[in-house]
Amino acid sequence: MTDASTLPGRPRGGVLSGPATARAVNVLAPNPSAMTLDGTNTWILSEPDSDLAVVVDPGPLDDGHLRHVIGTAEQAGKRIALTLLTHGHPDHAEGAARFAELTGTKVRALDPALRLGDEGLAAGNVIRVGGLELRVVPTPGHTADSLCFHLPADRAVLTGDTILGRGTTVVAHPDGRLGDYLDTLRRLRSLTVDDGVHTVLPGHGPVLEDAQGAVEYYLAHRAHRLAQVETAVEDGYRTPSQVVAHVYADVDRSLWPAAELSVRAQLEYLQEHGII
């Protein structure tokens, strides 16, 4: 058995659903898969002494899950006052409109197509609800509209799909771009160094106790994969599918379609920088 303390980011063991920090509670959506891991993490955020809560990523359009999120908040004596989205992929955002209907909340997101209400989200925004403070961090790369939410009081960051609790994420080309993603990882590293963030509350998988270690692992992983793709091209593997079959030979074939998106992003990056 592998000791979790030796894994990248030090993933927390135990049940995923439930309290994660003083201000964050996870309600795990029932949508496990190779891409979503155990399912989507729907986060309920609130100051301990407040009766107002914020929900990040209601998840898929599953009425049972959405009502479970509401019930979890109500059992803690809290009313959901706002819904936020880290990005627009269906496993995070498909249920947002129905959730807004059930809770009477606005939905704030970077992408105007996902918003319900006048206000969107942008770099530098500070969201305050019932004493809770969240800072919006633009983190494009996985998708163009990806955001993270910095929770200073818990020295935590909610990362959506930008950093996962287990494994690594996909640069979802063409919407996602590798150059943007590398910049995002460096931005998150600065949060760990300059702002004292030590906990990652991911969109999938367990909580990570070592945010800086997770970011450093992701940066090293991306550099390694990029070098592998460059070498594969030099060795005559030209198409994205050929590169995937060569570089990702040790990865479950069911994940190859997602890997091909990242390879396309890597090839584009290498071309833009005149490397291939």
Which residues have a catalytic role annotated? Answer: 91
- Name the burial class of residue 165, with classes exposed (0-12), middle (13-18) and buried (19+) by CB atoms within 10 angstroms of its CB: buried
- Sign, Cα dihedral of 156, 159, 165, 171: negative
Phi-psi region of 207 (alpha: psi -120 to 50; beta: other; left: phi over 0): beta
Tokens 């071309």 locate to 271
> Who contacts 8 (Cβ-Cβ below 8 Å, separation ≥6)?
213, 214, 217, 218
* Cβ partners under 8 Å of residue 212, min gap 6: 189, 192, 193, 198
Phi-psi region of 14 (alpha: psi -120 to 50; beta: other; left: phi over 0): left
Structure tokens at 212: 């800086």
Specify the pairing of strand 24-28 against strand 18-19.
antiparallel
Helix (H, G, I), strand (E, B) or coil at 96: helix
* Helix/strand/coil (H/E/C) assignment for every residue in 193-216: HHCCCCEEEECECCCECCHHHHHH
Whole-Å CA distances, 153 to 22, 81, 85, 135, 197? 9, 19, 20, 11, 10
